[in-house]
């Protein structure tokens, strides 16, 4: 059974370098929704890789026993610290790298709390969502066909926040169609309830390209 913590389980190959600390590509760290990665990261990894940005994908740890204690991400460590602590061990070093964070659903709420890295929040559930003014930029992506679209729009004006609304799209657009051909009920990060999701592969490709473009501009190496 999956536990509700975010250890690093898989590294999707997209060109992460293990050479000198300051010579590697920028890195995007992707945090999953409360149900795990479920194949949602693939389009984003491909689009980022095409722009020279490496990707680290976090998933939920598999456990053989014990109930899931929560559908929420563990609050004990900020997303940036989690990724850097892991990378200080057996993974590729992130020291000196340009790092961004991408979160899906519950993971999107986690990355929005990370203040010093550019972040992309994919459908974080905007009801009751409070975003403090940010130093680093954040991109909030949500569907205009979702019930909380108005709550997302109400966040306009928050310092450091940009919004990408998706016409005709609801929750879970980046789920693989084979995983939910008729739609699916996803955990709602804003509550303990569920929300209806519907895969949209056309929207997924468009969002992945837009997200990768947005991050590429913000992860450009400073002029020498």
Half-sphere exposure of 103 (CA within 13 A, CB side): 31
**What value does the mean pLDDT take over residues 147-166?**
96
Sorting pLDDT into bands at 50, 70 and 90, what band is 25? confident
Please check whether residue 29 is in contact with residue 102, taking contact to mean a CB–CB distance below 8 angstroms.
yes
Chain centroid, CA 166 distance in Å: 17
CA dist 63 and 79 (Å) reads 21
Q: Distances in Å between the alpha carbon of 174 and those of 99, 119, 144, 210?
A: 23, 18, 15, 14
Element (H, E) at 166: strand 161-166
**Which of 90-94, 112-116, 150-154, 184-188 is predicted with the least confidence, judged by mean pLDDT?**
90-94
Q: Name the H helices within 13-143.
A: 42-50, 79-87, 106-112
**Which of 134-138, 190-194, 211-215 is predicted with the least confidence, judged by mean pLDDT?**
190-194
pLDDT, position 61: 58
The 10s digit of each residue's pLDDT in 66-113 is: 433 334 444 334 445 555 554 455 455 555 568 999 999 999 998 898
Answer with the residue of higher pLDDT: 80 or 152: 152
pLDDT, position 152: 97
pLDDT, position 181: 76
Strand partners, 103: 31, 121
Answer with the residue of higher pLDDT: 148 or 181: 148
0.85 surpassed by pTM: no
Q: Name the H helices within the chain.
A: 42-50, 79-87, 106-112, 149-153, 201-218
- Indicate if the pLDDT at residue 17 is higher than 50: no
Q: What percent of the chain has pLDDT over 70?
A: 71
Sorting pLDDT into bands at 50, 70 and 90, what band is 19? very low
pLDDT, position 75: 36
Sorting pLDDT into bands at 50, 70 and 90, what band is 36? confident
Domains plus CATH for the chain? 27-218 (3.40.50.1820)
- Indicate if the pLDDT at residue 119 is higher than 70: yes
Which residue's structure tokens are 């009801």?
A: 127
């Amino acid at each position: 059974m999956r536990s509700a913590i975010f250890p690093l389980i898989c590294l999707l190959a997209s060109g992460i370098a293990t050479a000198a600390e300051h010579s590697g590509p920028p890195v995007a760290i992707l945090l999953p929704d409360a149900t795990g990665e479920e194949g949602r990261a693939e389009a984003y990894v491909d689009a980022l890789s095409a722009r020279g940005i490496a990707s680290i994908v976090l998933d939920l740890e598999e456990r053989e026993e014990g109930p899931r204690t929560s559908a929420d991400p563990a609050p004990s460590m900020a997303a940036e610290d989690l990724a850097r602590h892991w990378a200080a061990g057996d993974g590729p070093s992130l020291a000196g790298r340009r790092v961004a964070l991408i979160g899906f659903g519950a993971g999107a709420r986690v990355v929005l709390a990370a203040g010093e890295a550019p972040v992309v929040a994919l459908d974080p559930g905007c009801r009751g969502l409070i975003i403090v003014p940010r130093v680093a930029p954040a991109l909030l992506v949500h569907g205009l066909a979702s019930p909380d679209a108005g709550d997302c729009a109400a966040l306009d004006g928050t310092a450091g926040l940009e919004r990408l609304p998706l016409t005709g799209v609801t929750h879970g657009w980046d789920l693989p169609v084979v995983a939910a051909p008729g739609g699916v009920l996803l955990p709602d990060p804003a509550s303990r309830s569920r929300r209806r999701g519907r895969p949209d592969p056309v929207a997924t490709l468009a969002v992945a390209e837009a997200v990768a473009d947005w991050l590429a501009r913000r992860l450009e190496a400073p002029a020498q």
